[in-house]
């Protein structure tokens, strides 16, 4: 069994811009649990624990998904929050194609027999997590003016999350397979 998710990843230069923009905010909010930049990605679908046979079927299906979706122009911009628990930066650009890709990945997972949550896809990159009652609004306000460079999402990634195997008992992410987005 492996704990899996499917994602697209911004390139290193885009992540460096975000990291630089966040430096002051990180220092001002040490109470938050900040995501490591090496873990930054845009999750399309979280799959949970998947056995080897199901994973093999999923890999084949995701390969087909990648051939039906074109690369997308995206940018990271500003910030937002999910209640008092999650601080994120939003995604701008080709959002309809990105949502379409997420829907296709969700459908492929379902056809492979993997139950996935049926909820609207909200493109974002998670920056930090707070504890109950944490006021994330000052951090959101501090990042409101951030505008990242536009980049092309040209690959789909199947990623394994090894819980507690990273630095300071964080998760360690391992890309198992990647596919170029080649649709037109």
Burial class (CB in 10 A: 0-12, 13-18, 19+), 8: buried
Element spanning 161, H or E = strand 155-162
- Whether 69 is a known active-site residue: answer no
Q: What's the pLDDT at 167?
A: 60
Of residues 41, 69, 77, 157, which has the active-site annotation?
A: 41
Reading phi first (left if > 0) and then psi (alpha if -120 to 50, else beta), residue 66 is in alpha
> What is the 8-class DSSP label of residue 43?
E
Listed range (40-44, 95-99, 130-134, 152-156) with the worst mean pLDDT? 130-134
Q: Which of 114-123, 138-147, 160-169 has the highest mean pLDDT?
A: 138-147
CA distances from 149 to 14, 17, 45, 145, 163 (A): 6, 8, 24, 13, 31
67: domain CATH number?
3.90.1140.10
C-alpha 99/C-alpha 44 separation (Å) is 8
| Residue 134 confidence (pLDDT) above 70 | yes
| H-helix segments, the chain | 12-28, 52-68, 95-111, 137-143
Domain hosting residue 172, numbered range: 2-180
Of residues 29, 69, 124, 157, which has the active-site annotation?
A: 124
Q: Which pLDDT band holds residue 119 (cuts at 50, 70, 90)? A: confident
Tally of domains within the chain: 1
- Whether 124 is a known active-site residue: answer yes
Q: Which pLDDT band holds residue 38 (cuts at 50, 70, 90)? A: confident
Q: Indicate the pTM of the whole model.
A: 0.93
Whether 102 contacts 156, CB under 8 Å: no
């Amino acid at each position: 069994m492996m704990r899996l998710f499917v994602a697209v990843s911004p390139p290193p230069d885009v992540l460096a811009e975000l990291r630089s923009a966040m430096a002051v905010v990180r220092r001002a909010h040490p109470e938050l649990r900040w995501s490591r930049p090496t873990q930054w990605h845009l999750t399309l679908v979280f799959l949970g624990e998947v056995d080897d046979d199901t994973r093999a079927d999923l890999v084949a299906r995701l390969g087909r998904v990648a051939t039906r979706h074109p690369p997308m122009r995206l940018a990271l911009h500003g910030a937002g929050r999910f209640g008092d628990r999650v601080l994120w930066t939003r995604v701008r650009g080709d959002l309809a194609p990105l949502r379409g890709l997420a829907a296709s990945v969700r459908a492929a997972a379902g056809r492979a027999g993997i139950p996935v949550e049926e909820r609207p896809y909200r493109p974002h990159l998670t920056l930090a997590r707070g504890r109950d009652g944490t006021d994330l609004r000052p951090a959101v306000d501090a990042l409101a003016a951030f505008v990242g460079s536009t980049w092309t999402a040209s690959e789909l990634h199947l990623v394994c999350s090894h819980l507690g195997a990273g630095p300071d008992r964080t998760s360690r992410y391992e890309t198992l397979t990647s596919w170029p987005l080649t649709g037109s």
